[in-house]
Amino acid sequence: MLIDDHFKPQPTDIIITTSPKCSTTWLRALVLSIINRHSFDLRDHPLHKANPRELVPFFEAFIHKGGSTPFVDGIPSPCLLSTHLLYSLFPTRMIDDTSACHFVYICRDPKDVLVAKWHFANKLRPKELPPISLEETFDLFCKGVSHYRPFWDHSPKKVLFLKYEDVKKEPLGCVRKVAEFLGVPFTPEEENKEFVEQIVKQCSFESMSSQYVNKLDKKYQQSSISNSDFFRKGEVGDWVNHLSPQMAENLDQITEQKLQHIGFNFY
């Protein structure tokens, strides 16, 4: 409601939209690097000194009660924001046919999302409490009990839709696709200078997780989450190391049932 009442979208605004643990950090880094590729030297890039969450504001964490949006006013155009909110919760003026905003959305195999959420939740769990079991996490996830609504409710229709698995498999092509969608395609000169390859390398899991700032037990904006908590494995199919065949089959069936109305599947 605060966004509806007080946020004034501009034609150049870019909203990175994800369900939690679907590679928000990676997409933040990629889009930031794409749109600012002429503003920063790759050898001394802000991503070498700060976690992507510090460079791309989290929409719902920064808009203040009472409608204050000073963080947006201070961001140079194009304004790049990140959110876990459902696409359907945004004001009509941001998502209709005359929308001023560009939404970039990434999804991920729900089995890998489940495992990532389980690890992440246990990292944040108070030490005096026992860890949450995988079985309990699986049961809650399948029932749709999740912060920011059930995983399957995150299915925006008027956005650039990316699959995590596709970005991992063809990162160069996906970076070019994002740049085209945002109206800043790579020029032949940039292609010859391997701008795309440099961005992919800079934003890779190996590169970002090795940055000193991302190894720190550093909290941000009174959060209990450390920078290092955002980097676990970044692999496709890690769920096979955690879920039983029966759990995987059950989750696949639920996913197919929930998404059949939009004709989408992960496989």
Burial class (CB in 10 A: 0-12, 13-18, 19+), 150: middle
Q: CA distances (Å), 90 to each of 67, 155, 156, in order?
A: 15, 13, 11
Residue 19 has pLDDT above 70, yes or no: yes
Which pairs count as long-range contacts for 208-211, CB under 8 Å and 24+ apart, including other chains? 208/25, 208/26, 208/29, 208/47, 208/52, 209/234, 211/47, 211/48, 211/49
Its pTM surpasses 0.75: no
Look at residue 198 in the predicted model and tell me its pLDDT: 93
What is the tens place of the pLDDT at every residue in 146-200? Answer: 776 666 565 554 578 888 899 999 999 999 999 998 889 999 999 999 999 999 9
The pair phi, psi for residue 191, each rounded to 5°, is -65, -45
Are 14 and 35 contacting, i.e. CB atoms less than 8 angstroms apart? yes
Poorest-pLDDT segment among 46-55, 222-231, 233-242, 245-254: 222-231
Burial class (CB in 10 A: 0-12, 13-18, 19+), 69: middle
Q: Which domains does the chain have, with CATH numbers?
A: 14-262 (3.40.50.300)
CA–CA gap between residue 155 and residue 166 (Å, rounded): 17
Look at residue 78 in the predicted model and tell me its pLDDT: 79
Catalytic residues: 84
Mean pLDDT of 64-90: 72
pLDDT range class, residue 220, cuts 50, 70, 90: low
Residue 221 has pLDDT above 60, yes or no: no
From the list 82, 18, 62, 53, the residue with the least C-alpha distance to 208 is: 53
